[in-house]
Structure 1
Amino acid sequence: MANQKGGVAKTTTVASLGAALAALGRKVLVVDLDPQGCLTFSLGHNPDRLESSVHDVLTGEVSLREVILPTSEGLSLAPATIDLAGAEAVLLMRPGREFALKRAIATLDGDFDTVLIDCPPSLGVLTLNGLTAADAVLVPLQCETLAHRGVGQLLRTVSEVQQITNPNLQLLGALPTLYDARTTHSRDVLSDVADRYELPVLAPPIPRTVKFAEATASGATVLAGRKSKGAQAYRELARQLTAHWDTGAALETFNPAG
């Protein structure tokens, strides 16, 4: 999951989609690449109390398997701490710095069916590590004015990664988040993004709901609220992605025009 703009429900998407995939029987690992540790906190772990994290993995001090933590959602977590902010400076001094996470994941020897990576809201070395390690990238995009700012830059970065460090990287498309079906504004924003960047807009859109904030505060995901529209949307996305990965089925796209 990548978008250098903050506040687009990227971390919520990683946690909720991961929980939905785990509920379908997949062995899921989520990787927190954001020094703020929001994913780590939202899954019930306090970043300030952890002795080791993804920072230590990227700098070569420990293996990825050594830092993985369990969660109440049935998925595994590679946590982040504020120390991760210093990893960029360390990695910049090393050759092949973009491949640190890819090498770390390779040591897991297929322990997981799916690895979801929560990239930080920037296009620095950490995000490049995420894009280089990934098979595919999904762009969470909030349905608000100026949401597309930075999308072009992100797509250029994805293109450069495809050319240099990860030629097999697939761009799945944009995932609409914070969507309000009652307004034409949300549809107009998505239509603009689809036209401007020729970027597939995936369905279903993730609705704006207070349940996400409540879930994060409780150290769980929105999947705990089975009747939540947000939970239903992530479950449907998980089913589509599973079919896409297992059988090559096409992902459903959202028509902003209705």
Structure 2
Amino acid sequence: MFQRCAYRALLIQTASFLQSRELAVPNLDREAHETRIYAIVNQKGGVGKTTTAINLGTALAAVGRRVLIVDLDPQGNASTGLGVAVRDRATSTYDLVMGLADLDAVMVEAPVPNLFVTPGSVELSGVDIELVGSPDRSHKLKTALDCASGRRFDYILIDCPPALNLLSVNAMVAASAVLVPLQCEFFALEGLSQLLRTIERVKSSLNKKLNIEGIILTMFDKRNNISGQVAEDVRNTLGNIVFNTVIPRNVRLSEAPSHAVPALIYDHGCAGSQAYLQLAGELLRRNMDHEVLA
């Protein structure tokens, strides 16, 4: 009952939010609409990848988009944060990647209409070794998602592990673009150049269509001068590729996973939830612009 009431409130909040910014959300012709697949990637842990996957996915689902979250992290935190207990994961993303089960057998419904998840599991930690001799090891996830073309999704968000390993490469090969959460702290830029080089290598050799959709500044603390300086430096260096929306450091965002619901359900009015609604609106607007230019 709590989740239904919270979701109803989220729908009202979302409609009001989008209306206030004059952001139309048109009905989609799913037969003609191409699924947008985003790999949410950063080799650093604790930067907000999973939080972004859960709450951006929830926000997109709240405006009628059909969303699949692929939990590619052996820790399975995105699955837990969406209410999928470890004991309920009879099959997982591991089975999908290894070709042991198809998408219909693996995915489960999240506690939000239009939102689905393929659960992560500890077995994913062995994929690098198990596929070491496979000639198509970088394309396993792409093949699995391509085979599911009969089931239409508007967005697929892939929550990557905190490493630039074979799982992350699989995500980028399957993706049309990447989203990079970047923590607004002193060491945030460490490793970013390596990540960008890896993305470029994947693009040049494995997925010519891969692009960077945007950098998402996360864990911004307005009380901290470092956060402001990091945000300014990133914008000056990377320009328009950085989303205007900034995700604040927020207690309710941190609490929500322990209740096994997205922050947007746990407290749709908190600053973190509002930021993810704004990010979803900005992403939708970018996608509309891409479609017009195409």
Could you tell me which residue of structure 2 aligns to residue 92 of structure 1? 132
d(CA) in 2 for partners of 1:166, 1:219:
35
Could you list the per-position Cα deviations for residues 149-201 of structure 1 after superposition, in whole angstroms to 9, with x for gaps in the alignment? 11111000000011011111111221010111233311211233344566732
User: What pairs with 1:112-131 in structure 2 (closer than 5 Å)?
Assistant: 112-131=153-172
Q: Describe how 1:181-220 pairs up with structure 2 within 5 A.
A: 181-196=222-237, 200-220=241-261
Deviates more, 1:168-177 or 1:28-37: 168-177
Q: Of 219, 222, 236, which residue of structure 1 is paired with 2:278? A: 236
Q: Cα offset for 1:60?
A: 1.2
SS at match of 1:76: strand
Matching residue within 174, 186, 208 for 1:145: 186
Letter of the 1:133 partner, please give it: A
Which runs of structure 2 are paired with 1:19-34 in the superposition (5 Å)?
Answer: 19-34=58-73
Taking only aligned residues, the RMSD between alpha carbons, in angstroms, comes to 1.7
1:8 is matched with which residue?
Answer: 47
- Structure 2: 5+ residue runs without aligned partners? 1-39
Aligned in 2, Cα 1:239/1:178: closer, same or farther, shift over 3 Å? same
TM-score normalised by L of structure 1: 0.92
* Normalised TM-score (structure 2): 0.81
* Equivalent residue in structure 2 for 1:106, among 142, 146, 152: 146
CA distance in 2, matches of 1:155, 1:47: 33
**Structure 1 residues not aligned, in runs of 5+:** 251-258
The answer (yes or no) to whether the contact 2:253–2:273 under 8 Å persists in 1 is no
Q: Deviations for 1:66-107, whole angstroms, at most 9, x for unmatched residues? A: 100001122100111101111221122211211111111112
In 1, Cα distance between the equivalents of 2:63 and 2:103?
24
Secondary structure in structure 2 of the residue aligned to 1:204:
strand
Matched-pair identity in %: 40
Partner of 1:253: none
Counterpart mapping for 1:153-192 below 5 A: 153-192=194-233
Displaced runs of 4+ in structure 1, greater than 4 A?
195-199
Superposed CA deviations along residues 48-74 of structure 1, whole A, max 9, x for unmatched, are: 542211111111111122100001122
